[in-house]
Structure 1
Amino acid sequence: MTIAANYFGYEWGTDQWIGLGFALAAVAFILGVLLWERIKDATTIRYLRDWTWKRHPQKRKRPRGQSD
């Protein structure tokens, strides 16, 4: 970072790292908001599928040749 900063005649200090951190946090937040619906739907479907499995264990497929 420092070599590139000196090449462009700009000093890279603590304030710039803090600004870069805020910028990365903002990008992560925006991506999280945009992807939230897809993530939420996928986890909800998985949760409900697991919940119905535990609720109705007799519907679970068993390997052939085994009985409880």
Structure 2
Amino acid sequence: MATKTVSLRKSSYEKLEKLKKEGESFSDVVDRISEKHKQDLKQFSGTFPEIGEVEDQLQKERDKIEARSFEG
């Protein structure tokens, strides 16, 4: 099996170490976390409006805020 060396800040290493279950390697932890994250994101698949709609709404809200700041 091929391996890679990865450098982590001490604080990141400590967080990863806390997530490590008995008998797990650090590779196992990374695999478990990344798979869980992928599953979490899948639950949102297709549930958000098109990005263009979101951008339009954000711009409208920015315009409202900007207009209020000039009223002040």
TM-score normalised by L of structure 2: 0.36
Q: Which has the higher helix share?
A: 1
Q: Which has the larger radius of gyration?
A: 1
TM-score normalised by L of structure 1: 0.36
